[in-house]
Structure 1
Amino acid sequence: MAEGQSFAVLARTLYDGITDQPSRNILIRMAGGRIESVQPAVEVSRLPDNLLEVEIVTPGFIDLQINGANDVQFNHAPNVDGLKAIAEGARAGGTAHFLPTFTTAPGRAYRQAINAVHAAISEGVPGILGIHLEGPFFSRERPGIHPAEHIRALDDEDVRILCEAAEELPILLTLAPECQQRQQLRHLSAAGVVLFAGHSAATAEQMATARADGVVGATHLFNAMSQTMGRAPGIVGEVLGSRQGFAGIIADGIHVHPMNLAIAAHSLPDGLCLVTDAMRTLAGRQSEFDLYGKPIRLRDGKLTGPSGTLAGAHLAMDEAVRNLHELAHLPFGRCVRMATANPACCLKLRDELGQVAQGSRASLSLLNGDRNAVGVVIDGTPILQ
């Protein structure tokens, strides 16, 4: 089917990203990359000839944090070809849109990643919304699997580069706010950079101060950050207690206990964002790879480094949605919103993505009756498995 061609999807079950409750037998007409209409099929006298019938339809899944897929790690291949491969691997799990994530690397290597994403978007690689830079501006107390020797604080040149890049490209930046100058955070936020706290030992008070300076969320909640204690809430307690902003969370049953998944989902119904944090093993053939000198191995669905430190996740977005539904005992429609509407809001794209509504971009995730992805529609173009 040609890009942008008019066609329709008949959703036997539709989760629209707006309410928790599904609708049945809904006809979605699309043209020019936009949704033209959403109406019950019984109201249509004759179904279109150019029709795709799907068991379950949702807004296109949005992944704010994916490091690699399809045997490609973005840090190892910060170029258009690498991004094409990652996009293909992400789509296998129903992800329509994503932020390729470049993790801690030497110096200002992140500039090559920014240039690669800009080039990929210019060339029309489907699904890329911007870039997530996870590091190197962390706390050395919370490095996780990131190479500690490359962790450092922001300097004025970094701020200049990132502010200029944000004029052309949506950027999500994960950093340890307590390790940065407050004025630098304010400059980045004012330039449109979306700031998340992560790999941070910040106190709850420091996190609250960071919010005032423009930090709006937290990366992979519960992991690589200060935890909640009786008299020291830490980042986790501040995020869940304040119920403000956004938080990414990895629902693979490994990174976060099911009870904590449920607590987070109930505390942040409009701010919790499912992320995969996937590495190159997702939709790939390899089970071992090297990350800046550290061997990473996949065993029993779990990626770890030499000391047993978690090293990203082996997780697809359709699986994350199912897991949150099953582990946290949430309505499936609410889990869908945490993979669609919430991340769209985080990126200030709620009028464009994250919902199946007239006028929105024609981006959908297509699932079978078992809630496994069978394809996506990206800006009006269906890509089936």
Structure 2
Amino acid sequence: MSDINAECPAVFARRLYDGASDLPQENRVIEIEAGRIRAIRPGDLPSAVAAGMPVAEIIAPGFIDLQINGANDTQFNFDPSVAALARIAAGARRGGTAHLLPTFITAPGEAYLSALTAVRAALAAKTPGILGLHLEGPFLSPARAGIHDPAAIRAMTSADLAALTAGFPGPLMLTLAPECLPEGHLAALAAAGVILSVGHSAATAAEVAAAEAAGLRCATHLFNAMSQMSGRAPGVVGAVLASDRLYAGIIADGHHVAWENIRIAVKAMGARLCLVTDAMLTLAGTAPGFALHGVGITLQGDRLTDAAGTLAGAHLAMDAAVRRIMDGAGVSLPQALRMAATHPAAALGLAAELGRVAPGYRASLTLLGEDLASCGVVVDGRYFPQD
């Protein structure tokens, strides 16, 4: 996708899905001013083409990826820098992602501090697409490490708590195992505005409920790396499905979660279920694999695994996740588009500015072809066409 970074005064949609209604608006011009949507009005294709507007068969609210580890041959853990974040965001835009939380996974010691520094700098520089930060670890359960380095998983210290509650200029999501946290830390993190997400956790349903009461808001890659639901032990999965408030991300790539389970989650959670990619550096890249804390990861088809077959993130774009959840779980197009944009915005507390196409909202849009493949992205009024 070209990073021409051009200000875009208007775009034309043959069909506009606004993130609220199931019914599309046909032949609409979306007018943009100072990075916001100024107006939406009827229009026609010949006039739009004559005016030089970007045109798309379908326009939807800009996709928001809450969990993406890398793209464009760049892994955030390997290079926590503003330049790396710009490359990852550019790679994600090729799959229709307008905004993302770059995700820094478990690393030794206090390495996560470098991610905080990098994203602070990227936000200060107004790097297009960088919305905030997702720290996935290191405060996880060793029993549910997944592909994370068990040697780097550790307990949260008072110094960690101070660093994480010092204030952050954007959404800060933290995936943790609540059963492993010291008493009072969860509530302190929530009070500081950290978006707490249960993941890589062996918690009981009672422990999840207690964490929810203390401020837990989300679950990370639902069904994966967490205690499962059984007849008398609901685990993390059962607690999340039974909750009326918790949001969850889900990886709809056909590998991480059985489609039957995704259908259950869609029915149980409705507007609280969010599509995520969990993508690694191979997305929109050229590398056939990489090493993660000394473990070789290879891409076979669209599946990333180590030699033992353990899934290691995903090779998935957001537009592909939309198509796959429609095909695999019978989700309608407007619902799938909301799962990619509207629900994530709400999970982050940003429902008043992102996740809708309406006057006053940030002008962040995903442009799709009839085949639901991305053909461009508008990020806060800047147009990035697909190459």
TM-score by length of 2: 0.96
Query: Could you tell me how far apart the structure 1 residues matched to 2:166 and 2:374 are?
Result: 37
Aligned-pair Cα RMSD in Å:
1.7
Query: Could you tell me how far apart the structure 1 residues matched to 2:346 and 2:148 are?
Result: 28
Unmatched segments (≥5 aa) in structure 2: none
Report 1:1-385 matches (<5 A): 5=7, 7-41=9-43, 49-166=51-168, 168-385=169-386
Deviation readout 1:307-365 (Å, 9 max, x if unpaired):
21110000000000111111110111001001111110111111111000000000000
CA contact (8 A) 2:279 2:317 kept: yes
Farther-moved stretch of structure 1 (358-367 vs 22-31): 22-31
Query: Could you tell me how far apart the structure 2 residues matched to 1:312 and 1:189 are?
Result: 27
Farther-moved stretch of structure 1 (47-56 vs 178-187): 47-56
Query: Could you tell me how far apart the structure 2 residues matched to 1:175 and 1:371 are?
Result: 34
Deviation readout 1:274-315 (Å, 9 max, x if unpaired):
000000000010111001101001112111112211100000
CA contact (8 A) 2:186 2:214 kept: yes
3-state secondary structure, aligned to 1:269: helix
Query: Could you tell me how far apart the structure 2 residues matched to 1:243 and 1:165 are?
Result: 28
Query: Could you tell me how far apart the structure 1 residues matched to 2:201 and 2:362 are?
Result: 36
TM-score by length of 1: 0.96
Shift of 1:40: 2.6
Deviation readout 1:239-296 (Å, 9 max, x if unpaired):
1122322000000011011111111111111110100000000001011100110100
Shift of 1:39: 2.4
Shift of 1:5: 4.0
Shift of 1:3: 6.1
CA contact (8 A) 1:83 1:100 kept: yes
Shift of 1:222: 0.3
- Matched to 1:287, the amino acid is P
- Matched to 1:24, the amino acid is E
Shift of 1:2: 8.5
Figure out how many residues of one structure are paired with residues of the other and give that number.
383
- Aligned in 2, Cα 1:6/1:75: closer, same or farther, shift over 3 Å? closer
Query: Could you tell me how far apart the structure 2 residues matched to 1:266 and 1:23 are?
Result: 26
CA contact (8 A) 1:104 1:136 kept: yes
Query: Could you tell me how far apart the structure 2 residues matched to 1:53 and 1:300 are?
Result: 32
Shift of 1:41: 2.3
3-state secondary structure, aligned to 2:151: helix
- Aligned in 2, Cα 1:52/1:321: closer, same or farther, shift over 3 Å? same
- Aligned in 2, Cα 1:261/1:81: closer, same or farther, shift over 3 Å? same
Shift of 1:4: 7.5
- Matched to 1:229, the amino acid is S
Query: Could you tell me how far apart the structure 2 residues matched to 1:312 and 1:319 are?
Result: 15
3-state secondary structure, aligned to 1:84: helix
CA contact (8 A) 2:4 2:384 kept: no
Query: Could you tell me how far apart the structure 2 residues matched to 1:283 and 1:97 are?
Result: 16
3-state secondary structure, aligned to 2:238: helix
Query: Could you tell me how far apart the structure 2 residues matched to 1:377 and 1:230 are?
Result: 47
Unmatched segments (≥5 aa) in structure 1: none
- Matched to 1:38, the amino acid is I
CA contact (8 A) 1:61 1:96 kept: yes
- Matched to 2:76, the amino acid is F
Query: Could you tell me how far apart the structure 2 residues matched to 1:58 and 1:191 are?
Result: 32
- Aligned in 2, Cα 1:338/1:361: closer, same or farther, shift over 3 Å? same
